[in-house]
């Protein structure tokens, strides 16, 4: 509590008073940091039950091991179906139904990736299961995020934001803007990031950023994390780096623990966990491989999700990888992840992934020591270039693969939302039914935010050549 800033404390007090709020502010203002304090302190002070969720598995892991994806917490699988049918399924699993009934405060981080349709479906489910017509069945909701970062997936090309939903308007009576940036200390970099966030990079800022192109990062022992827009590039870069290492490759496969659930259920769950989880189901490593932890092992020693290190060998007896991190070298044993079942189905795997490259989507919410970012013409989403840029703490930790001023775009509706000119949909006061979902929202999808990683257009040839020159073996036609 002591360490909260004045504005963080104000947000904390609003939650304490029982208000449903929207906690926003640029990247690095400590929004997710505050969630941890809320999670620890509010139950002690009020006896209330707090659930912490985020829109992606990666973002959930960043907040702490108690956090789940919103889909996982809600127990709605992929979220397909009506609120009625989803509620029926939830009722069949008593602990899940209990969770819906007994949660007092639901926190949703990275809310910029929440579709209005999912918000409306969850609101209906809450009303059904909690037998209350109040917004979200009377649950207190804390939305956390920055709409100038990545938006929700929109397969029909129309981006819709959670704040456009009448449910949002009926819930959120107060928006708290955090302004003090903790992630970056340097005021020049802060100015650049502020412009990038608003989608208008000045000439001066562009010139400064351009000095970060072609910087030699190869001499550093812990290499920058490469943030690219497209998943295919990321996978190719990771594999090409591993291929180039001289040692013998060792492969580790995820294993499902014993379970009393039917075999078909165990199989389906294992597959889903493999698809959605942070771990890599079949992980190949070599000595010298740059890796990232995907679990919190020892917070005090800084061995948490996102910690970067390098494989320095393999333990003789067990074969487990030995990883040198910044302050510590240790053997990394398999870690277990649990499904939402009761009792859970567990899956074990070495909690490491190759860390040469990540998609920008997966990096949202993270703080990185150093990164090589592609913010050139391949940027395909509003907020994407800003997210990439705002992950690092300082300009020295920033390496640029490609930059293009047009990559910095802020969605006009979001801009109007933040400058106060946006007119929200009209809703009648609480205790009444919310207006029905408007037609455009129905066209949205229930997608996981992680799905939103595919660039729609083809890469120009020059990019392929450039990729190949940076990472030999990648980008060949």
Ligand X SMILES: Nc1ncnc2c1ncn2[C@@H]1O[C@H](COP(=O)(O)OP(=O)(O)OP(=O)(O)O)[C@@H](O)[C@H]1O
Binding region for ligand X (CB under 6 A) = 3-5, 8, 27-33, 146, 182-183, 365, 367
28 binds, among Mg ion, ligand X, none (CB under 5 to 8 A by kind): ligand X
340 binds, among Mg ion, ligand X, none (CB under 5 to 8 A by kind): none
At closest approach, how far in Å is the CB of 169 from ligand X?
Answer: 23
127 binds, among ligand X, Mg ion, none (CB under 5 to 8 A by kind): none
Output 126 or 141, the one with its CB closest to ligand X.
141
Output 20 or 367, the one with its CB closest to ligand X.
367
Contact between 199 and 46 (Cβ < 8 Å): no
For the beta sheet containing 140-144, the strands, ordered from the edge strand earlier in sequence to the opposite edge, are 68-69, 50-54, 105-109, 140-144, 21-24, 174-177
29 binds, among Mg ion, ligand X, none (CB under 5 to 8 A by kind): ligand X
Backbone dihedral angles phi then psi of residue 374, each to the nearest 5 degrees: -100, 105
Please report, as ranges, the residues that interact with Mg ion according to CB under 5 A: 31-32, 365
30 binds, among Mg ion, ligand X, none (CB under 5 to 8 A by kind): ligand X
8 binds, among ligand X, Mg ion, none (CB under 5 to 8 A by kind): ligand X
Output 53 or 349, the one with its CB closest to ligand X.
53
CB within 8 Å of 98: residues ≥ 6 apart:
none
Output 63 or 122, the one with its CB closest to ligand X.
63
Output 225 or 269, the one with its CB closest to Mg ion.
225
Output 282 or 299, the one with its CB closest to ligand X.
299
At closest approach, how far in Å is the CB of 263 from ligand X?
Answer: 40
At closest approach, how far in Å is the CB of 220 from Mg ion?
Answer: 26
Taking CB positions, which residue lies at the least distance from Mg ion?
A: 32
Output 147 or 441, the one with its CB closest to ligand X.
147
At closest approach, how far in Å is the CB of 364 from ligand X?
Answer: 7
At closest approach, how far in Å is the CB of 23 from ligand X?
Answer: 9
367 binds, among ligand X, Mg ion, none (CB under 5 to 8 A by kind): ligand X
359 binds, among ligand X, Mg ion, none (CB under 5 to 8 A by kind): none
33 binds, among Mg ion, ligand X, none (CB under 5 to 8 A by kind): ligand X
Taking CB positions, which residue lies at the least distance from ligand X?
A: 30
Output 304 or 467, the one with its CB closest to ligand X.
304
393 binds, among ligand X, Mg ion, none (CB under 5 to 8 A by kind): none
- Per-residue HEC secondary structure of the chain comes to CCCCCHHHHHHHHHHHCCCCEEEECCCCCCHHHHHHHHHHHHHHHHCCCEEEEECCHHHHHHHCCCCEEHHHHHCCCCCCCCHHHHHHHHHCCHHHHHHHHHCCEEEEECHHHCCHHHHHHHHHHHHHHCCCCCHHHHCEEEEECCCCCCCCCCCCCCCCCHHHCHHHHHHCCEEEECCCCCCCCCHHHHHHHHHHHHCCCCHHHHHHHHCCECCCCCCCCCCCEEEECCHHHHHHHHHHHHHHCCCCCEEEECEECCCCCCHHHHHHHHHHHHHHCCCCCEEEECCCCEEEECCCCEHHHCECCCCEEEEEEECCCCCCEEEEECCCEEECCCEEEECCCCCCCEEEECCEEECCEEEHHHHCCCCECCEEEEECCCCCCCCHHHHHHCCECCHHHEEEEEECHHHCCCCHHHHHHHHCCCCCCCCCCCCCCCCCCCHHHHCCCCCCHHHCCCCCCCCCHHHHHHHHHHCCCCCCC
Output 145 or 444, the one with its CB closest to ligand X.
145
182 binds, among ligand X, Mg ion, none (CB under 5 to 8 A by kind): ligand X
At closest approach, how far in Å is the CB of 276 from ligand X?
Answer: 20
At closest approach, how far in Å is the CB of 438 from Mg ion?
Answer: 30
At closest approach, how far in Å is the CB of 3 from ligand X?
Answer: 5
At closest approach, how far in Å is the CB of 178 from ligand X?
Answer: 7
At closest approach, how far in Å is the CB of 256 from ligand X?
Answer: 32
Q: How far is CA 131 from the centre of its chain?
A: 32
At closest approach, how far in Å is the CB of 391 from ligand X?
Answer: 7
Strands 371-375, 357-359: pairing kind: unpaired
Output 241 or 361, the one with its CB closest to ligand X.
361
Output 10 or 102, the one with its CB closest to ligand X.
10
CB within 8 Å of 50: residues ≥ 6 apart:
38, 39, 42, 43, 103, 104, 105, 107
């Amino acid at each position: 509590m002591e360490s909260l800033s004045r504005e963080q404390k104000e947000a904390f007090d609003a939650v304490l008073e029982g208000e449903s709020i929207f906690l926003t502010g640029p990247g690095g203002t400590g929004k997710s940091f505050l969630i941890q304090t809320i999670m620890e302190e509010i139950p002690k002070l009020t006896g209330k039950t707090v659930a912490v969720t985020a829109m992606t598995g990666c973002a959930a892991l960043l907040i702490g091991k108690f956090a789940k994806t919103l889909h996982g917490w809600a127990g709605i699988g992929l979220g397909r179906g009506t609120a009625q049918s989803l509620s029926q399924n939830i009722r069949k699993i008593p602990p899940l139904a209990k969770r819906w009934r007994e949660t007092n405060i639901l926190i949703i981080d990275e809310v910029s990736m929440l579709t209005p349709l999912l918000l409306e479906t969850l609101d209906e489910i809450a009303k059904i299961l909690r037998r209350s017509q109040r917004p979200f069945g009377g649950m207190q909701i804390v939305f956390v995020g920055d709409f100038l970062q990545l938006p929700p997936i929109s397969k029909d090309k129309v981006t819709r934001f959670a704040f456009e939903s009448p449910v949002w308007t009926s819930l959120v009576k107060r928006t708290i803007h955090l302004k003090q940036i903790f992630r970056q200390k340097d005021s020049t970099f802060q100015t650049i990031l502020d412009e990038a966030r608003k989608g208008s990079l000045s000439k001066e800022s562009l010139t400064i950023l351009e000095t970060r192109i072609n910087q030699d990062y190869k001499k550093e022992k812990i290499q920058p994390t490469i943030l690219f827009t497209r998943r295919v590039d990321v996978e190719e870069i990771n594999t090409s780096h591993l291929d180039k290492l001289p040692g013998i490759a060792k492969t580790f496969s995820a294993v499902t623990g014993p379970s009393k659930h039917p075999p078909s259920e165990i199989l389906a769950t294992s597959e889903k966990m493999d698809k959605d989880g942070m771990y890599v189901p079949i992980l190949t490593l070599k000595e010298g491989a740059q890796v990232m932890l995907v679990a919190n092992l020892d917070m005090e020693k800084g061995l948490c999700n996102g910690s970067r290190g390098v494989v320095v060998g393999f333990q003789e007896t067990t074969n487990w990888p030995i990883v040198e991190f910044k302050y510590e070298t240790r053997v990394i044993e398999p870690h277990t992840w649990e499904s939402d079942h009761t009792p859970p189905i567990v899956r074990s795997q070495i909690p490491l992934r190759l860390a040469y490259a990540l998609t920008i989507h997966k990096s949202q919410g993270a703080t990185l020591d150093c990164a090589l970012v592609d913010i050139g013409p391949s940027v395909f989403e509003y907020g994407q270039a800003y997210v990439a840029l705002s992950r690092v703490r300082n300009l020295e930790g920033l390496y640029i693969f490609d930059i293009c001023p047009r990559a910095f775009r802020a969605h006009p509706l979001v801009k109007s939302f933040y400058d106060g000119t946006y007119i929200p949909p009209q809703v009648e006061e609480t205790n009444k039914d919310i207006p029905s979902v408007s037609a455009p929202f129905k066209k949205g999808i229930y997608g996981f935010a992680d799905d939103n990683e595919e660039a729609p257009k083809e890469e120009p040839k020059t990019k392929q050549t450039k990729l190949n020159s940076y990472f030999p073996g990648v980008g060949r036609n």
